[in-house]
Structure formats: structure tokens, C-alpha cells
Amino acid sequence: MKIIIDKEACIGDGICESLCPDVFQMADDGKAEVIDEQSNEPCVQDAIDACPTEAISIEE
């Protein structure tokens, strides 16, 4: 299992970072990046649900 972000889809609004800062952070390119790809924190699903462009997904 791996949490991934589609950088093309990300619009850099920072919602995922604010909901789940141990897993997502904003990178220098203004897009989100995953800092803990294996996290099973519940907030990961919150971020997936909240992302306006559906840029976050989980790869099995």
C-alpha cells in the first residue's frame, strides 16, 4: 500500500497538509507531497475525501 499524489491534478491548496500534516506537506513546487507513504492514519482518508481535485489515491 502506498499513498500517492497526482501532481498534475494537485492545485496546491494545502488542504491535505492541514488535515494530515504527518503524511502530507507542501513542496517547493507548490504542490503537495507525501512524507509517509505507508501511513495508516485515519486522516489520510479525510484528506482523500477533502481534496477538491481527487489528486490523492492509495495504490494497493
Which positions touch ligand SF4 (CB under 6 A)? 5, 10-16, 32, 51-53, 55-56
Nearer to ligand SF4, 44 or 51 (CB): 51
CB of 7 to ligand SF4, least distance (A): 8
Is the Cα dihedral 2, 19, 26, 31 positive or negative?
positive
Nearest Cα residue to 11 out of 22, 24, 26, 23 = 26
C-alpha span between 22 and 8 (Å, rounded): 22
For ligand SF4, the closer of residues 40 and 57 by Cβ is 57
Nearest distance, CB of residue 23 and ligand SF4, angstroms: 10
